[in-house]
Amino acid sequence: MAKGPRYRVPYRRRRENKTDYQARRILATSDSPRFVVRISNKSIIVQVIQSEIKGDFVLTEVTSKELTEKYGWKANGKSIQAAYLLGLISGYKAIENNILKANLDIGLKRPTIGSKVFAVVKGALDSGLEIPCDSDIIPNSERISGADLSNYAKNIEDPVLYEKQFSMYLRKGLDPEKIPEHFDEVKKKIMEDLMK
């Protein structure tokens, strides 16, 4: 640990690698709410948060649990497909609450090209919510729909490897080769439910 009369101990949440206070100050002082995306060990959480002097107020919130329970999503709740669908739901809910623009807040996560965070953003953009984001960093439509995963499943010839790779899908009764169809089906349900 550094020593000396000029050493300043960082804030606790910065020491624990939980908050980037520089980025947070910029986002919190802007006029638009924050579009917060957090990926945990088991799910994805998407929130639209308004920062005020009194504190942060959550305006809308969507989790992977809602996607599986309300819309019948059978695949992994942390997949790129689930991330896109959660962004779509979150975008529609934000627009329903008269929020038309938000700034992306990814916390301490690195902005990697084609990551789940940007699949969430793509879903929100497709719903009509305006989020400033470069289109080059968003995953392609083949990854978002699950077509690449379906093609991979079709090309596996070893049944043991197939069972090992897709055990979670098979346990839930979803054929990995039919992920794009399931994705389209759930997306249609979301649009019918939220575009009233």
The CATH code of the domain that includes 77 is: 3.30.420.100
14 occurs within a structural domain: no
Look at the pTM and tell me if it is higher than 0.75. Answer: yes
10 occurs within a structural domain: no
Listed in sequence order, the DSSP H helices in 42-178 are 64-71, 80-96, 116-127, 141-145, 147-155, 159-165, 167-171
CB 133 within 8 A of CB 121: yes
47 occurs within a structural domain: yes
126 occurs within a structural domain: yes
Structural domain including 153 reads 19-194
pLDDT at 25: 86
Q: Is 80 exceeded by the pLDDT of residue 195?
A: no
89 occurs within a structural domain: yes
61 occurs within a structural domain: yes
Q: Is 80 exceeded by the pLDDT of residue 2?
A: no
Per-residue pLDDT of 9-46, as tens digits, reads 888 988 888 888 888 888 888 889 999 999 999 899 99
7 occurs within a structural domain: no
pLDDT at 196: 64
> How many domains does the chain contain in total?
1
1 occurs within a structural domain: no
